[in-house]
Structures are given as C-alpha cells and as structure tokens.
C-alpha cells in the first residue's frame, strides 16, 4: 500500500462503485435502518482508507467495496456481512480498534471484523522469514488452523474471507511473481476446496480459472482460444437445441428460464489431464440450465417435478444413461440439488442439461447462505442438512487435542477434496459417507455406541467383516454385542477421521501405557538398526516426516499400531544416504521408484511432475540454498506453497545445451493398422532426430492404446513431437502424460 493524495477522479470512482453496491445492498437489507448502517460503514471505512492506494495505484477503498459486492451478489449475505466486508481491513491497516467497531456497529459486526483481522494477520505472518524450516511449517499450518477455527464462531467470517480472496486473485497481476505463486497455492489447496464444500460454485469456478491463468498461462490461453473458436463455429447448434425444449416446456405449462453456458477453461483443462484426452474429445462443452418454478400440478415433490421436465426433454432428444446424475434424490453434502443429464442435439453435439427449481438454483449459486435462508423459512429440515454435518465434523477435528496443526491441514484438505458415496440404512434411509470408508466407519457415523459395540455386519444382506470397504448403493446393517468394545486393531482400517478419533479417545485412559509401548518398540527397532538413541535433530525430522507435533504423539501412534514400525526403515535408509548439508530435504522432496532427482543448471528437478525447460515452473528453496523446480500446476508444489510461504522463489531456469535431456511420456490412442509402429519410430527418430527410450502399444478390436517415452531438452521440442505425431494416419489422441 502507498499514501498519495486522492484526485477528483479517484473520489468519483469510489462514489460510482459504492452506488452499485448500495443498490445491491438495498435488496438484501430488511429496511432503511439496515441500509443506513451500510452507509455509515462505507463513510467510516472511506475516511479511514483516505489517500491510501493499492499496488495497482487505485484507491484502496475500492477493495472493500468489491469484497462487499461479492458478499451480496455472489453469496447473498445480508446487512451485517456487507458492513463487516466494508470494514474488514480497517483494524489491520489503521489506528482504529475492534472496540471502536463494536461501539459504532455492535457486537456481531465487531466479531466478524475481528475474525477477518485475525485471518489476515496469520496469513501475512506466513510470509515472514523464520530460520528454522520446521518452525516455519508449524507456524503456517497453525495459521490455517486458526482460520478454520472461525467456523466455530461464525461461518460468515470464512464466507467473507472467500470474497476477499476472490477479489485479491482478480487483481493478482499487480503482485510480484513469488507472492503470486504463494497466494495461488493457498487458493488451490484450501480456498477452492472450501468454496466447493460451502456450495459457492461461481466463486470456485472463477478462482480455478485465475489459478490456471497464472499457473499455466500457455495452457489457459490455448484452451480459451479453442473454446471461443468452438462457440463461433457451433454457436447456432445451441440455439437449435434449446428451441424445441423451450416450446415443449411452455406447452406443458411450466414457468421457467433457460441459461446457456460453456465449460470453463479450467474445467476443460482438468478434464483433459484427468482423462488423458485432447480438446476435441471433450464432448460436453455446452451446458444449459432449466430453472423452473415449483408447482405441485407437475408432481407432489420438487424431485417429481424435475423428473417431469426430464421426461419432456428426453421425448425430444436421446440421453446418455451413463451420464445421468440424480442429485435431487441424492443431495450432495454441500446441499447441491439438481438433475443432470447429457443429451445429443442437432449435428451430433452433446449438451449437458441441468434441471433445477428456483430454490435449488439459489442454493447452487449462493451455497451455504441460501441453504440456511431456506431452512429458516421452513423449506429444509434439520435432517436434510448434510452441510451442517460437515461443519460439525470440522469442528470436531479442530477440538481434538491429538491432532497437530501439521496433520490438520492435510486432514482438512483431504476431507474437502475427497469423493463421496451414497449408502443406505436397513430401513432404506440414505446416508453420505467418504469414498474408501469401511463398514465400521458407517457404524460410527450412525452412532458412537453402535460403532463401539459392533462385531460384524451385513452388507446387502450378506455377512461381512467390519473392515469391508463400502461401495455406493450398499445397504448396511450393523450387528452389535452388549459386551462389545473397541479394538486397537480397528485403527488400522478405519478411514474417516471421526471414527478414528472416537477409538483413540476410548483408549485415552491407556494413553500413558500406549506411549510407553510405542517408546519401547521404537527403541528396540532403532537398536536393531544400529542406533542407541535419537538426537534432537533426528527427533525433529521424524516429527516432520510423520506430520506430528511431539514425540509423545509419535509414540502413541506406534503403540496403537497406526504408525507401522517397519516403515521407519526407509526413513533411516534415506537418512544414511543423505549428506549433512541436504539431509533434511530428502524427506519432503518427492521421489519416484526410489530414483534420485536429476540436477540441471544448479536446480533439482522434482520427480513428482518432471518439468522440462519451457514449462511454467516454481522454485522451492531450502535453507542450504538448494532449489527444487516444480511445474506450477503440481499438487505437491501447491501443498508446499500453502505450508511454507517463504520457500517459494522464481527460478531462473535456462536451457543448458550440455545438460542431460529429460524423459517424457506421450500417450497415444487411435485406429490400429499395419505399419503404424514403423511410422511412429520413423517420425520420432529419423524425422525429428529424437531419442526414444521406450514404446508400448496394445491393440484390441481394431483400436490401439499405448505410449512412447522420448528424451527432450525443451518444452518446444516436446510440442513439436506432439504436433508431428498427431498428423500420423490413424492416431486420434496424443497427450503428454503427467508422470
């Protein structure tokens, strides 16, 4: 921020932006009195931020106005949240205190502003250099724990923080590159999954697109251009597709609107990566939303009415049964409801169709804020609130004294991004549970005592052990015994955090004994490896390796059988292979199949994403000066950047002609024919003069799949090879594999 006298143009700009906000706020404020509170908040913040400018040079006041607009337009919050958004930087950036806010705007607004100020403080603390890398990671993880603790007080703090993060990302071009990479890593690792979990899809999508735009600018530009070209060429197809649907629904008497959209660049890019396909193979680029007024003449429930719409439109177009998604019967954990289907329209173009009532659409667009608003008005019952179950689950994790800050960040990330399945009780009641959960996890989800006394179960009326992993659609009956009690060995297969916590709590009275058992097991194991005792440095590295806060935490997990003692062998094997200078970093640097990472131009090349010169890359610097280069889109880089903000650097990674080339894998699919392998090898080896390490092709029913591994020195060389391979007769898909 910088101080500079405002000009008349600056004041006009602030007034114009606030006028838009005021009109939006008028729709969310209950009366003129609430609108007057918003006006006072603007006047107060405007004076507090007077003559202060952002990095871009624009008046700082434009930022809180923009955040408040997101709060009201995209999230749908009311007067107190709008007021807090306008004031959210006042305490941090001026001499005013939270008590000043409380005296002027009341306790609730003061509490929201205080929570937002604490979040900003802890995030900014992560930028400060701390010489001890373990202490730095612990500090930054603790910071995020404090952010999530605000869920205990008022979830609106997190919602306003998401609005703040969105506007900061919208203006991220004014940040230096290393700071930009840190913010985007945090955004992908925590804030995007959080927006998804809270049902804020529009915010999630925009954050994803910004992330891709700056993390992989070439890919973002290429995909965006292809989407634009596709729309230009096939735009009339959408109108031709919509017209018969519009006519049929009007004739049926529905009151509705149809919204048209195209997949976002990020969603297309991610689909291409996950499914290893080209842009041309993304067949559901178009989507339309049919949003209608619920009316019982079309069915007793909103679910029935959605299926009525489905019946009408599938009388016009054929649908793909494998792409049918019924989220009106099986509501998502974040409250999302809709019926999705994929139809084939004129010209053979596939369209995704989303069918929703206006209530469902509000929840889809505004997320948790709309969910609670409808519940308050009597539309949603307590038992339907899966999102509140998730919030309760997060709070339970936060309160658990056995969870360190380091563990917490990964737990929350995994919880936010994990897939879910639908299962059923013996009475046919639907429940949502994490993918990978076992029968015993389900028992604990139903009730703690059912879990504690479980001895066996029936899944789909067949006896199964408690360790059986559940599949979507399973119907589960837990069989209990009055004398049944938790067993330590359960911790080896329990998947959900809550179930593990309950079992660990059960053995809390035996904590001292378990710690002592773990200490003894570890000591005996170390003696077998030739170590008489652990020095302080090795202790700290063990805690880092297992993401724990104290040695007692480690001993406890060894004593309970959660940490397998045999797993320590590889830890100490790595320790012995490492030099004193770089020893610490061998435990977090990713390895593949035990290979050592390549070193090129003074940089260590990360084996988790295998970047080549010309890729968009980020550097992660260790205290000994070693820099590991990752692709900017690498999940490992996002995780490290979230936990260690000051490790992020901008590497000056130039092409070194004398350096060893890089091996990359290119996946191929197409129509099999005689001479295909010969054409492949000729193109790569003779025409392009590239060294091919391996080729593998498998053919079945006239089609082939496979890959080649080639050595390249730059991304440009790789792109040339891909372009040439695409021209070979019979090859339909050529994709660089993210190793």
| Residues 635-649 pLDDT 10s | 888 877 776 777 888
Structure tokens belonging to residue 271: 């689909």
Question: What are the extents of the domains in the chain?
Answer: 2-200, 226-366, 418-506, 509-577, 585-649, 662-736
Is the pLDDT confidence value at 576 over 60?
no
Buried b (16+ CB within 10 A) or exposed e, 672-701: eeeebeebbeebbeeebebebeeeebeeee
Interval 604-612 mean pLDDT:
83
Nearest CA to 712 among 611, 632, 602, 630? Answer: 611
DSSP 8-state assignment for residue 331: -
pLDDT digits (tens, 9 = 90+) for 211-239: 999 999 999 999 999 999 988 887 788 88
* 102 touches 110 (CB < 8 A): yes
Interval 374-381 mean pLDDT:
44
pLDDT of residue 129: 42
pLDDT of residue 580: 31
Which position has the higher pLDDT, 595 or 173? Answer: 173
Active site residues: 92-93
pLDDT of residue 333: 67
Identical fold between 226-366 and 418-506: no
pLDDT of residue 398: 53
pLDDT digits (tens, 9 = 90+) for 175-185: 988 889 989 98
pLDDT of residue 345: 87
Q: Is the dihedral of CA 12, 18, 20, 26 positive or negative?
A: negative
Three-point CA angle 425, 431, 436, nearest 5°: 100
Which position has the higher pLDDT, 46 or 368? Answer: 46
pLDDT of residue 600: 56
The pLDDT-based confidence of 125 (bands split at 50, 70, 90) is very low
Does the domain at residues 662-736 carry the CATH identifier 3.40.190.10?
no
Interval 341-360 mean pLDDT:
89
Is the pLDDT confidence value at 43 over 80?
yes
* 490 touches 503 (CB < 8 A): yes
- CATH code, 2-200: 1.10.3210.10
Interval 65-71 mean pLDDT:
95
Is the pLDDT confidence value at 582 over 80?
no
Pick the CATH number of 226-366 from 3.30.460.10, 3.30.565.10, 3.40.630.30, 3.30.1540.10: 3.30.460.10
* 650 touches 178 (CB < 8 A): yes
pLDDT of residue 122: 53
List the single range of 62-76, 469-483, 521-535 with lowest mean pLDDT: 521-535
The pLDDT-based confidence of 151 (bands split at 50, 70, 90) is low
DSSP 8-state assignment for residue 468: P
What is the pLDDT of the chain when averaged over all its residues?
Answer: 81
The pLDDT-based confidence of 157 (bands split at 50, 70, 90) is confident
Q: Which residue has the tokens 């104290």?
A: 550
pLDDT digits (tens, 9 = 90+) for 300-328: 899 999 999 999 999 999 999 888 888 88
Q: Which residue has the tokens 């003692």?
A: 565
Is the pLDDT confidence value at 420 over 60?
yes
Highest average pLDDT, of 74-78, 187-191, 306-310, 568-572, comes from 306-310
pLDDT digits (tens, 9 = 90+) for 93-122: 888 999 999 999 999 899 889 888 877 655
Which position has the higher pLDDT, 189 or 175? Answer: 175
Cα(381)–Cα(536) distance, integer angstroms: 54
Is the pLDDT confidence value at 164 over 90?
yes
Is the pLDDT confidence value at 289 over 90?
yes
pLDDT of residue 423: 87
Is the pLDDT confidence value at 279 over 80?
yes
pLDDT digits (tens, 9 = 90+) for 477-500: 999 998 888 988 898 888 887 888
pLDDT of residue 384: 42
List the single range of 313-327, 621-635, 713-727 with lowest mean pLDDT: 621-635
For the chain, percent of residues with pLDDT exceeding 90: 32
For the chain, percent of residues with pLDDT exceeding 70: 78
Measured in degrees and rounded to the nearest 5, phi and psi for residue 610 equal: 45, 65
pLDDT digits (tens, 9 = 90+) for 436-483: 899 999 999 899 999 999 999 999 989 999 999 998 888 999 999 988
Cα(439)–Cα(63) distance, integer angstroms: 49
pLDDT of residue 342: 92
The pLDDT-based confidence of 413 (bands split at 50, 70, 90) is low
Does the domain at residues 418-506 carry the CATH identifier 3.10.20.30?
yes
């Amino acid at each position: 921020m910088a101080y500079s006298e405002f000009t008349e143009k600056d004041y006009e700009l602030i007034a114009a932006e606030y006028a838009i906000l005021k009109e939006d706020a008028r729709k969310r404020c209950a009366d003129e009195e609430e609108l007057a509170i918003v006006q006072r908040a603007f006047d107060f913040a405007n004076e507090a931020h007077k003559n202060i400018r952002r990095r871009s040079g624009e008046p700082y006041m434009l930022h809180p106005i923009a955040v408040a607009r997101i709060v009201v337009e995209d999230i749908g919050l009311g007067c107190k949240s709008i007021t807090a958004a306008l004031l959210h930087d006042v305490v941090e950036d001026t001499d005013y205190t939270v008590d000043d806010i409380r005296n002027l705007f009341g306790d609730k607004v003061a509490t929201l502003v205080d929570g937002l100020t604490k979040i900003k403080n802890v995030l900014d603390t992560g930028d400060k250099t701390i010489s001890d890398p373990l202490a730095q990671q612990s500090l930054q993880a603790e910071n995020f724990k404090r952010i999530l603790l605000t869920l205990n007080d008022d979830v609106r703090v997190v919602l306003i923080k998401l609005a703040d993060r969105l506007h900061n990302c919208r203006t991220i071009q004014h940040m230096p590159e290393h700071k930009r990479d840190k913010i985007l890593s945090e955004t992908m690792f925590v804030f995007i999954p959080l927006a998804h979990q809270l049902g804020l899809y529009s915010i999630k999508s925009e954050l994803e697109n910004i992330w891709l735009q700056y993390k992989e600018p070439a890919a973002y530009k290429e995909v965006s251009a292809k989407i634009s070209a596709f729309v230009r060429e096939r735009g009339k197809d959408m109108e031709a597709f919509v017209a018969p649907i519009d006519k049929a629904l009007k004739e049926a008497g529905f009151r509705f609107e149809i919204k048209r959209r195209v997949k976002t660049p990020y969603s297309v890019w991610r689909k291409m990566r996950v499914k290893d396909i080209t842009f041309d193979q993304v067949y559901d680029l178009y989507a339309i939303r049919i949003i209608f007024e619920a009316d019982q003449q079309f069915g007793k429930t909103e679910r029935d009415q959605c299926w009525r719409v489905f019946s009408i439109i599938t009388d016009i177009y054929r649908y793909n049964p494998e792409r049918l998604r019924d989220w009106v019967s099986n509501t998502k954990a974040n409250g999302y409801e809709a019926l999705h289907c994929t139809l084939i329209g004129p010209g053979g173009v596939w369209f995704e169709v989303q069918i929703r009532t206006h209530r469902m659409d509000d929840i889809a667009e505004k997320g948790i804020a709309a969910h609670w608003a409808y519940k308050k008005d009597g539309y949603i019952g307590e038992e339907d609130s899966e999102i509140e179950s998730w919030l309760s689950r997060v709070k339970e994790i936060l309160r658990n004294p056995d969870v360190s800050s380091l563990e917490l960040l990964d737990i929350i990330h995994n919880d936010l991004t994990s897939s879910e399945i639908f299962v059923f009780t013996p009475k046919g009641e639907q429940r949502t549970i994490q993918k990978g959960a076992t029968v015993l996890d389900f028992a604990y989800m139903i009730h703690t005592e059912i879990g504690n006394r479980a001895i066996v179960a029936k899944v789909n009326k067949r006896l199964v052990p408690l360790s059986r992993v559940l599949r979507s659609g399973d119907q589960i009956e837990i069989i209990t015994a009055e004398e049944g009690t938790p067993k330590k060995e359960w911790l080896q297969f329990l998947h959900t955090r809550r179930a593990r916590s309950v079992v660990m709590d059960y053995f809390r009275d035996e904590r001292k004994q378990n710690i002592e058992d773990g200490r003894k097991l570890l000591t005996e194991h170390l003696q077998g490896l030739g170590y008489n005792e652990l020095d302080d440095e090795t202790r700290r590295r063990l805690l880092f390796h297992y993401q724990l806060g104290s040695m007692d935490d480690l001993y406890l997990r060894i004593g309970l059988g959660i940490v397998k003692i045999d797993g320590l062998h590889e830890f100490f094997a790595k320790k012995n292979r490492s030099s004193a200078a770089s020893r610490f970093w061998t435990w977090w640097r990713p390895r593949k199949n035990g290979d050592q990472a390549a070193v090129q131009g003074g940089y260590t090349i990360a084996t988790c994403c295998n970047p080549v010169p010309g890729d968009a890359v980020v550097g992660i610097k260790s205290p000994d000066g070693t820099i590991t280069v990752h692709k900017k889109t690498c999940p490992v880089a996002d995780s490290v950047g979230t936990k260690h903000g000051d490790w992020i650097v901008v590497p000056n990674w130039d092409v070194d002609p004398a350096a060893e080339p890089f091996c990359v894998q290119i996946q191929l699919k197409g129509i099999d024919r005689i001479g295909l392998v010969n054409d492949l090898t000729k193109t790569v080896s003779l025409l392009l003069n590239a060294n091919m390490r391996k080729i593998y092709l498998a053919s079945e029913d006239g089609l082939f799949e496979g890959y080649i591994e080639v050595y390249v020195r730059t991304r440009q060389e790789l792109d040339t090879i891909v372009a040439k391979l695409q021209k070979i007769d019979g090859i339909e898909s050529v994709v660089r594999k993210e190793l």
